[in-house]
Amino acid sequence: MHIEVFGDQKRASQRIVDLLTRQLRAYPYSVLGLATGATVIPIYREIIERIRREQLNLAPVRTFNLDEYMGLQDHDPHSFHAFMQRHLFYPAHLTPDQTFFPFPEFSQDPSGYDRLIEQHGGIDWQLLGIGHNGHIGFNEPGTAFDSETHVVKLTENTRKANRHWFDGDWHHVPEQALTMGLKTIMRSRTIVLAAFGASKSAVLAKAVYGLVCPELPASILQHHPRVYIICDQEAGSLLRPSSSFHSPDFPSQFDV
């Protein structure tokens, strides 16, 4: 794992988009794995800004989202389809034939999503966040490491963590989702995990230094050959002593 800790999430987001830009310069037709949630909003904002400055071009790419709630139609404002449309696809001028989601098309055949990814050559660059319980995608604690795209029953804690997207009522958060499995994610050639805020510091440290086990799904990333962990100072506070931050303008970088 290569870890970079920045003074704030803006600088961290810029670094993530630097990595994406480097990927697309090397291979403009890359297949991107994308995530949703509060963590990725500043990243997508930076992508849009660079597109406007003509420093980045997403026109040739194909994208596969990690997950989607079961039962929500793509036009539902609470769906990940709608989230991606608002924050990335519409302002980046990405068309529906470039973007793929596991639900609803693959609700009866989840493994079909994995086959579709492989038909497009596999995921070149996968963006991830990390949940407070260590989930990546919607792979909750206890998910088998050899899991591929599957239906998952969301834990109460995960539903409560997502309640702010549902007018503050966690009972409105769907009970199930369709998600890429851990094996699906691990097939990605490059993985970039973003983590912002003090609430992510403990779980991030466990994912990096702790036992690799299904109870902490993100820990499997320790076994991937090309993982970047990009975080702000608050999320990375347990990865390197705070005294190592000489300036917010310069990241702390190290490998584990």
Q: Of 4, 114, 124, 140, which residue is the catalytic one?
A: 140
The verdict on whether 57 is a catalytic residue reads no
Structure tokens at 158: 């995960």
Whole-angstrom distance, CA of residue 251 vs CA of residue 3: 10
Q: Of 49, 105, 133, 157, which residue is the catalytic one?
A: 133
Q: Of 67, 124, 232, 234, which residue is the catalytic one?
A: 67
The verdict on whether 148 is a catalytic residue reads no
CA dihedral sign of residues 233, 234, 239, 245: positive
The verdict on whether 133 is a catalytic residue reads yes
The verdict on whether 140 is a catalytic residue reads yes
**Taking a C-beta distance cutoff of 8 angstroms, is the pair 47, 20 a contact?**
yes
**Taking a C-beta distance cutoff of 8 angstroms, is the pair 50, 17 a contact?**
yes
Q: Of 87, 135, 139, 232, which residue is the catalytic one?
A: 135
**Taking a C-beta distance cutoff of 8 angstroms, is the pair 234, 197 a contact?**
yes
- Pseudo-torsion of CA 44, 50, 54, 59, nearest 10°? -20
Please name the residues in contact with 9: beta carbons below 8 A apart, sequence gap of 6 or more: 42, 196, 197, 232
Query: Residues with catalytic annotation?
Result: 67, 133, 135, 140
